Structure formats: C-alpha cells, structure tokens
Structure 1
Amino acid sequence: MTDDVIIRRTGDVGRISLNRPKALNALNQSMVDAMIEALTAWRDDDSIKAVVVDGEGERGFCAGGDIKMLAESGKAGDDRAWRFWRDEYRLNTLIFEYPKPYVALIDGITMGGGVGVSVHGSHRVAGDRTMIAMPETGIGFHPDVGGAYFLPRLAGCLGEWMGLTGARLKTADAIAAGVATHYVPSERNGELIYALETERLDDDGERIEELLDGFDGKVGDSDLALERGLIDAAFCEPSIEAILAALDAAGDNWSTRQAELLRAKSPTSLAVTLEAIRTGRDLEFRDVMAQDLRVSMRFLRPGSDFYEGVRAVVVDKDNAPSWGPVPADRAVFFAPLDDDHEMSFI
C-alpha cells in the first residue's frame, strides 16, 4: 500500500483520493497499482454501487505522471517506464470497461494521466477550478492514456485541436466539449461527496444521476461556440503543414495564436499525434491502448525529442527546447513491440 492514494469504503461507495497535493496528485507506479487493486476488488463486490475519485488539495485533481522518471528510465534502458505505461494503460482500460458508475471529481488541474483516470469513466464532474489539457506535444511526447480514443470522438476536430496545441479547457469549455459530463460548483463539492457517501444507491446509477442533477449549477458560456468554425476549418486538414497553412491564411488573432502554439511544439510529436488521433478514430479502446504503448516506447529511443522536452520543461525549466527533425519513417512509432513488451490487459 501507499500513502500517495487514500482508498476506503464509505456507505455504498468505493472512495479513491489521490494524495500527492504538492505534486498536484501526479501519478506514480504505487498509485496506479493501488487503484488497479481497489477497482478490481470492487468490480465484483455487489455491496459497492459506485466509485468516487477525487484529488487532495484545491489546485489539482491530477496533473499527469512522473515524467522525469520516465525519461530517466529511457536513458537507463530499464523497464520502469514500460511497466508504468503498461499498468497505467491497464488502469485506463479497467476504468473504460468498468461495470459500475465511476464518478471523477475533476475540480482542479487535470492533465495527461489525470485525464486518463477521469475521462474514460461514466461521470466526469467539473468544478469552478477545472482546467483540462493534453499538453504532451510540448514535451516531445504524444497524448497517451487513451487520448487517441476520446479526442477523435469529440465534435468536429476539437480533438485534433486539443491534442496538437495542448489547449486548456476551463469549466464551461469542458462541459461544451463533452469532456466533462456534469458541473457542480466547487463550494458544493463537500456536500456532493457527503451525499454520495450517505445516500442509498441503486444498481443502475439512477440515484447518482439524480444527485448530480440536484447539485448542478449554471456553468456559464463557453468560448468554443465562437471558435468551433475556426477550429474545424484548420484542424480537419489532413497534415500539420496543411493545418498551419489554413491557420496562416485565416489571419485572425485566434488562428495566428494557434499557429504560434503549433510552431513551438515538437514537430515529431505533432506528426505522430495527428496520425495517432486519426487512426484511433476507427479503433476499439483496447487497440488504442496497444497503440499508445507502442508509440510511448518509441519516444524513448536515443535522440528523441522527449528527452529534450523533459529537460526544457521539467529539469532546467528554461522552456527553450531544441527540437529535432521529423523522422522520414513514422511507421516505426506504430510497429508492434517484441512479445515481452506488447500491451496486455487485466
């Protein structure tokens, strides 16, 4: 067991609280292991009617994973990164396939791995502090944890825009995009948790829906309604080059800003991410997770932009990465791993 995640049963609910507030509840191996163990046990426990997941502290639900460890593992050539990703993706799959309501209270920063332990659940409850993003192209990586599954299933080309630019969705935008399913004001979070823990819940989740609807507030207007036309006009284009050309041709302030964001990202990450998202649109969830593991492991190759991104953003924090050229053959990112390292599921 680990103190980095608090697991307990309260009433009809299995409760999981991510407990690394100083690290914005970023996931590590022990947290992933503990969540898998709890969810597997509760899955077949008829007395548990739902799972509720939140993060300790007011700033973050979960800000991702242990990026520094992953880069160190890649350089050392050991299996720590592979094991973490395999188990994290197993956890994502367990959540996606979970037969009971899975309520993630995403009131705070929710990025990368935090998206993976929330967006695949049945209920994603945003609060006033919610900020959701998949910023991986900014560190020379790709939107993993099932990003290539949920992103292309958003309306239009919102998914391409989010995955490529690392766009940050605040509360109203998260609801409008469908990334969050419900809104509960932050000040009522404690009341909601108490209600979920003390109410008699049913097997089909209807009482949870009633509770969430009872706590619902007015979320306000989303900017996405104004931006959707611009997003689709550019980010539905077939290549990064065509997307940039469309943004440049549009010439408005929003499009100019998106082009600036893209040109600051790793060119390799952009190309691989776009291909992964477009491929993922037609894949089943487990196939996307197998693809994620293959692509993630290929970002650990010597000379990868991932190492430079981690140096610039996490280690030296100069935010001035020097990206390499896009590989001529990107198919290698998607090729199967050896038999001992291919994705396997619980």
Structure 2
Amino acid sequence: MFKAFNYCKGNGRAFCAGGDVVAVVQSVTEGRFKLYYAACEELWSTTSSSNWTMGAEYFRNEYTLNYIIATYSKPQVSILDGIVMGGGAGVSVHGRFRIATEKTVFAMPETSLGLFPDVGASYFLSRLPGYFGEYVGLTGTRLDGTEMLASGLATHFVSSTNLKKLEESLSKVETSDPFAICACIDQFSKAVSLKATSSYNRMDVIDKCFSKETVEAIIVSLEKEAESVHDEWIMSTILSMKKASPISLKITLRSIREARRQGVDKCLINDYRLCCHILRQEASKDFFEGCRAILVDKDKNPKWEPSRLDQVDDKVVDRYFVEVRDANWEDLKLPARHSLAAKYVSRM
C-alpha cells in the first residue's frame, strides 16, 4: 500500500508502549509474571557471557533498528494516535514525520524503573528547545500531542477523526520526495494550542533549573523556586525526581548533555554500553529492583542502591560510559549507511 515510504501506526489504543513494557504487561495479565521475573533473574543475575549477553542481544537488535530508521533513505510516517513510550519513541521519533493527535501520550519513564531513556533518546531529547529534553528525560513526565508538536517531537498534529482520510491520501502518494509527503500531511494537519497547565508553558523555570550542571543542583534550584511561590507543577517535578533511581538520574543527565555533541550513531553506541553495564549489575541492581517495585509487586516503593544522590560515586558513573571488560563482549557495530546519518541532524 505504501511503497514509496515507510508507514507506521499502532494497533489499538497505543502506538507502542515499548518492547520491554509490553512483554511485562502480557506476563502480568496472563498470571505468569513470577515465572517471567524468575527467568529474568536467572538470565541476568550473573556476569557470565552465557547469561547477560542474551539480554544484551535484544538491545543490540533494537538499537540497530533505531539507527536504520534514523538513516533510511525513504521517509517514515508514524501515526502516534495513543501511547508512545520507551521503545515506541525509538521506532517513531527517529523517522522523518511524526503525527500526533489529541489521544497521544508520550513519555520516557525509564528513570523510575532504574534504567535511562535509551533507544537513542539522548539524541532527540538533547535537541529539544532549551533544556526541555533534560526535564522530559529526568522526570519521565507525560506529554500530550500539542506538547509534542510544540517541542518538535512531533512534526504534525491531525485530529483522530481525520486519520482515515489521511491514510487514504497518503496511499496515493507515489514518490519518496519528503516535500510531497509533507504537503499531503499538511492538508489534514491543524494548528493547536497548549493547555494552560502545560509544562511547555513553564520553559522559563525549566531552562533556569534544568540547565544546572548536576542533578543535585537541578533539585536545589527547583526547591528554591518552590520556596518563593506555591506551585503544584514544581512540587510534582521535584517529587518525580526524588522517587527515581539516583544513579539512573545521573546517567540520564550525563547522557543527554554529551549527546548535544554527538550524532545518533554515537548516542546509540553509548546506550548499548550503558545497557550492558546495567544488565551485568556491576554497580547497581536498580533496574531489577525498579521492575520488581513498579511492574511485579506494584508496591511502588523501590529500594534504590545507592539510595541518595550524594552516595553515587562519579567514578562509578564514568564506568557506565566505557566499553565492557569481557572477552565475549563486542561493542555495538552499526551498518554502513553511505553518510546518510549526517542528514538526520536536520530532521529534528
């Protein structure tokens, strides 16, 4: 149906809630989560190459796909009519056209799970206006379609009721020329206004606070803002960060800051190294504890180790960003894309 370009849409109420989350949810609804989680613990709890590398292979394939999408010669059109989280962002935001609707819910909630916004998210988060990317990545806040459009995460906004007509029109486009595809989408897109309560309307506070050099300084800055005026948005922002894994927050901030000087390929390579270190549980088991607290037992009371930001050693954070010391480990090697990666920079 769509030969000249790639076309992606969800099946149901979500575009994609993320590969890992979907697998977990299915296990929960089928009553097999304890077996699933026990298998994960057995698979990843040691550093032997026959165990943790099996999990790493999943991320290797996922990040390779993200890179291919980001550098593919044919434009990709993604209809984000519903939930777009985690891995769902990886298979859509890296494409050229991202169409949001009034039903869109976007988030990168990984810090609350003891992980970090991966799938090359550091690349597109670091290129959002001001320090909005740091805010989105550190807090895991949810954005609606209008906020995605305003920040640049989405390229168009189309009402859900017009999606069928849009799809029919796109099916008649027989060229991969992005200008022709854009012109087709423009016929159905519309200008939308942010809600009065939108976090994007708080860019003055976001830029002031989230521009600080450390996570600790960001929180202190937010707390100072809260002292001068009672603001539920500021208080919820502080609370979301204090609930997150301290080491995940530090990894996330560094990842986004470094991504400002990197291409999408380097960002994905860094993501792979980070994931491998996390799966090896070299410095922290927060990812597994986060899964237990949020997705398994659902007590929403993870016991992070270290439990405080001032207990996170910067040298430990440094180790997450270097190659894994294991004879059987291999760094992420992305396919040659004939310099197309350089063109991706202009898509955001």
Q: Which residue of 1 aligns with 2:17?
A: 63
Aligned residues: 299
Distance (whole Å) between structure 2 residues aligned to residue 141 and residue 295 of structure 1: 9
Q: Which residue of 2 aligns with 1:240?
A: 215
**Structure 2 length-normalised TM:** 0.82
Does residue 330 of structure 1 match 2:317? yes
Q: How is 1:207-286 mapped onto 2 (pairs within 5 angstroms)?
A: 207-222=180-195, 223-251=198-226, 252=229, 253=231, 254-286=233-265
Secondary structure of 2:267 counterpart: helix
Amino acid aligned to 1:114:
G
Q: Which residue of 2 aligns with 1:117?
A: 91
Deviation at 1:239, TM superposition (A): 0.4
Judge conservation of contact 1:127–1:183 (CA < 8 Å) in 2. yes
Q: How is 1:116-265 mapped onto 2 (pairs within 5 angstroms)?
A: 116-197=90-171, 199-222=172-195, 223-251=198-226, 252=229, 253=231, 254-265=233-244
Amino acid aligned to 1:345:
L
Q: Which residue of 2 aligns with 1:93?
A: 67
Distance (whole Å) between structure 1 residues aligned to residue 143 and residue 176 of structure 2: 32
Judge conservation of contact 1:127–1:171 (CA < 8 Å) in 2. yes
Q: Which residue of 2 aligns with 1:294?
A: 273
**Shift in alpha-carbon separation, 1:327–1:74, aligned structure 2, 3 A:** farther
Q: Which residue of 2 aligns with 1:19?
A: none
Q: Can you list the C-alpha shifts for 1:255-276, whole angstroms capped at 9, x where unaligned?
A: 2221111100000100111011
1:103 to 77, 92, 101: 77
Judge conservation of contact 1:82–1:341 (CA < 8 Å) in 2. no
Structure 1 residues without counterparts, runs of 5 or longer = 1-9, 14-47
Judge conservation of contact 1:124–1:181 (CA < 8 Å) in 2. yes
Q: Which residue of 1 aligns with 2:291?
A: 310
Q: Which residue of 2 aligns with 1:38?
A: none
Deviation at 1:79, TM superposition (A): 2.7
Amino acid aligned to 1:56:
N
Deviation at 1:207, TM superposition (A): 2.3
Q: Can you list the C-alpha shifts for 1:32-77, whole angstroms capped at 9, x where unaligned?
A: xxxxxxxxxxxxxxxx3111001101x2100012255795442362
Amino acid aligned to 2:320:
F
Deviates more, 1:72-81 or 1:310-319: 72-81
Distance (whole Å) between structure 2 residues aligned to residue 91 and residue 203 of structure 1: 20
Deviation at 1:98, TM superposition (A): 1.0
Deviates more, 1:283-292 or 1:186-195: 186-195
Judge conservation of contact 2:15–2:83 (CA < 8 Å) in 1. yes
**Shift in alpha-carbon separation, 1:262–1:224, aligned structure 2, 3 A:** closer
**Shift in alpha-carbon separation, 1:241–1:200, aligned structure 2, 3 A:** closer
Distance (whole Å) between structure 1 residues aligned to residue 104 and residue 253 of structure 2: 26
Deviation at 1:248, TM superposition (A): 0.3
Judge conservation of contact 2:15–2:82 (CA < 8 Å) in 1. yes
Does residue 52 of structure 1 match 2:7? yes
Secondary structure of 2:187 counterpart: helix
Secondary structure of 1:300 counterpart: helix
Amino acid aligned to 1:304:
K
Amino acid aligned to 1:335:
V
Distance (whole Å) between structure 2 residues aligned to residue 112 and residue 203 of structure 1: 28
Q: Sequence identity, in percent?
A: 37
**Shift in alpha-carbon separation, 1:229–1:119, aligned structure 2, 3 A:** same
Amino acid aligned to 1:300:
L
More strand by share: 1
Q: Can you list the C-alpha shifts for 1:77-126, whole angstroms capped at 9, x where unaligned?
A: 24332111001000000011011110011110000000000001000000
Secondary structure of 1:322 counterpart: coil
Secondary structure of 2:59 counterpart: helix
Q: Which residue of 2 aligns with 1:36?
A: none
